[in-house]
C-alpha cells in the first residue's frame, strides 16, 4: 500500500509539473499575441547586387540577398524622361519583398547632393496603390528623404510611386551629381514566438552632365 501511495504522489507531481509547463507556454504565446510581436528576434544584414535591365542608363535595379543567396527584397529606379535642362523630370521607384515569404516593413530613400552648391529637387506624387503612408522631408539644403512605413498588403505587396527629380545648382554648368541611398528593412516569421529581421542598403549615383541628360549608376 505504501508503494502505491508513493507512486500516486509521484504521478500527481508529474501532472502538476506538466500543467505548470503548459500554463507557462500558454502565457508566453498569449503575451506574444498581445504584444503583436515575437519574443525573440534574430537579425542580419543583406548583401546587395546591382543590375541594369536592358543595358539602359536610365534604369537601375538592386537585389537584396541573404547569406544563402536568396532574394528577400528588390528595388527599381527608372527615369521616365532624362532631359532635366528645363527642370525636374518624372521618375519612378518600385520596391517590394522577394518571393521567399519575406515581409517588407519599411523603406527609406535619401537623396544627397555631393557639393554644397547643388541640391536635390524632389517633388513627391501619391503612390499608385494609394495605401502606403509616405513622407517626404528636406533635412537640409543638400538632403531630401522619402520614407515609407506600414507597407500595404502586410508588407507582401509591390510598392510603386512616381516623383519629380532634378538637380538644382547655383549657376554652375559643370557635371552635377546626387547620391541616392536606399535602406530597406523587413522580417521573416519563423513561428509564433520567433522571427528573423533583416536590413539592406544600396547606393546609386545620379548624374547630370552639362548637356542635361540624366543617367544613374551604381558606381561613383
List C-alpha distances in Å: 91 to 22, 84, 141.
56, 11, 21
β-strands 40-45, 194-208: how paired? Answer: parallel
Give the tens place of pLDDT for each residue, 53-83.
766 778 899 999 998 999 999 999 998 888 8
Residues 102 and 19 occupy one common structural domain: no
Q: What is the pLDDT of residue 28?
A: 47
Residues 48 and 17 occupy one common structural domain: no
Give the tens place of pLDDT for each residue, 97-151.
888 778 888 899 999 998 888 889 888 765 555 555 577 788 888 999 998 876 6
Tell me the C-alpha distance between 71 and 149, whole Å.
Answer: 21
Residues 3 and 56 occupy one common structural domain: no
Domain of 86: which CATH number? Answer: 2.60.40
Residues 30 and 130 occupy one common structural domain: no
Task: Decide which of 187 and 7 is more confident.
Answer: 187
Residues 32 and 46 occupy one common structural domain: no
pLDDT of 207 > 50? The answer is yes
Residues 14 and 116 occupy one common structural domain: no
Residues 86 and 142 occupy one common structural domain: yes
Residues 86 and 45 occupy one common structural domain: yes
Domain hosting 152: range is 41-217
Sheet holding 71-79: strands in order across? Answer: 47-51, 59-65, 71-79, 89-97, 159-169, 118-124
Residues 2 and 85 occupy one common structural domain: no
- Determine which helix (DSSP H) or strand (DSSP E) holds 13, and give its type and residue range: helix 2-35
What is the average pLDDT value for the chain, to the nearest integer? 78
Residues 95 and 24 occupy one common structural domain: no
Residue 83 DSSP one-character state? B
Residues 63 and 167 occupy one common structural domain: yes
Q: What is the pLDDT of residue 32?
A: 47
pLDDT of 50 > 90? The answer is yes
What's the total number of domains in the chain?
Answer: 2
What are the start-end ranges of the E strands in 98-158?
103-113, 118-124, 134-140, 143-149
Q: What is the pLDDT of residue 35?
A: 45
Report the range out of 8-17, 46-55, 136-145, 174-183 with the highest average pLDDT. Answer: 174-183
Tell me the C-alpha distance between 122 and 91, whole Å.
Answer: 10
pLDDT of 194 > 90? The answer is no
Residues 104 and 193 occupy one common structural domain: yes
Amino acid at each position: 500500500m505504501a508503494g502505491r501511495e508513493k507512486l500516486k504522489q509521484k504521478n500527481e507531481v508529474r501532472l502538476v509539473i506538466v500543467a505548470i509547463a503548459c500554463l507557462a507556454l500558454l502565457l508566453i504565446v498569449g503575451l506574444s499575441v498581445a504584444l503583436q510581436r515575437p519574443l525573440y528576434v534574430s537579425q542580419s544584414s543583406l548583401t546587395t547586387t546591382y543590375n541594369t535591365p536592358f543595358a539602359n542608363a536610365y534604369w537601375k535595379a538592386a537585389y537584396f540577398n541573404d547569406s544563402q543567396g536568396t532574394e528577400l527584397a528588390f528595388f527599381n529606379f527608372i527615369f521616365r524622361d532624362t532631359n532635366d535642362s528645363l527642370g525636374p523630370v518624372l521618375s519612378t521607384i518600385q520596391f517590394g519583398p522577394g518571393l521567399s515569404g519575406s515581409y517588407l516593413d519599411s523603406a527609406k530613400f535619401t537623396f544627397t547632393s555631393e557639393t554644397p552648391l547643388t541640391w536635390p529637387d524632389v517633388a513627391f506624387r501619391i503612390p499608385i496603390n494609394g495605401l502606403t503612408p509616405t513622407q517626404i522631408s528636406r533635412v537640409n539644403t543638400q538632403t531630401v528623404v522619402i520614407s515609407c512605413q506600414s507597407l500595404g498588403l502586410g508588407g507582401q505587396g509591390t510598392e510603386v510611386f512616381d516623383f519629380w527629380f532634378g538637380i538644382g545648382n547655383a549657376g554652375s554648368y559643370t557635371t552635377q551629381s546626387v547620391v541616392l541611398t536606399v535602406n530597406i528593412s523587413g522580417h521573416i516569421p519563423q513561428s509564433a514566438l520567433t522571427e528573423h529581421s533583416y536590413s539592406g542598403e544600396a547606393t546609386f549615383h545620379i548624374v547630370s552632365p552639362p548637356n542635361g541628360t540624366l543617367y544613374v549608376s551604381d558606381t561613383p
